[in-house]
Amino acid sequence: MANNVNAQAIAFANNYARRTADNVVSCYLTMKRTVQVWNGQSIVTVIPNDANLIQDGATVASGTADGRAPITDAQVNVLISNLATLIAQFEASSNLILNQMQQVSVNAQSAVQ
């Protein structure tokens, strides 16, 4: 089988496919680390699944908020739940999706399992 030498194909592979795969692997590792910290530090005990706002600068008792949208404890809990779902998809079938992304990625990183 001949190699694909089409300039448009090469440009797409280098400028989009490989960069996207790098970003996807990086995103997976970020999600994995976030869930590890959530579980390892039992963050659910300080961010319960309720409607209270997290006063992180976006929400302040006095002064000026920093312009970000306020978030609730429940929104953070939903985030963690969604991260766990996405991680499970990456790791299903012996890490099928993660392995496929790492094959295309320029800076493939070994994921902590």
Give the model confidence (pLDDT) of 22-36 as tens digits: 999 999 999 999 999
Give the model confidence (pLDDT) of 40-76 as tens digits: 999 999 999 999 999 988 887 777 788 889 999 999 9
Domain region containing 53:
7-104
Is position 112 within any domain? no
Is position 42 within any domain? yes
Q: How sure is the predictor about 112, in pLDDT bands with cuts at 50, 70 and 90?
A: very low
Is position 72 within any domain? yes
- Interval 73-91 mean pLDDT: 98
Is position 109 within any domain? no
Count structural domains, the chain: 1
As a whole number, the mean pLDDT across the chain is 93
Is position 1 within any domain? no
Is position 83 within any domain? yes
Enumerate long-range contacts of 109-113, CB under 8 Å, 24 or more apart: 109/25, 109/26, 109/29, 111/25, 111/28, 111/29, 111/32, 112/29, 112/32, 112/36
pTM of the model: 0.87
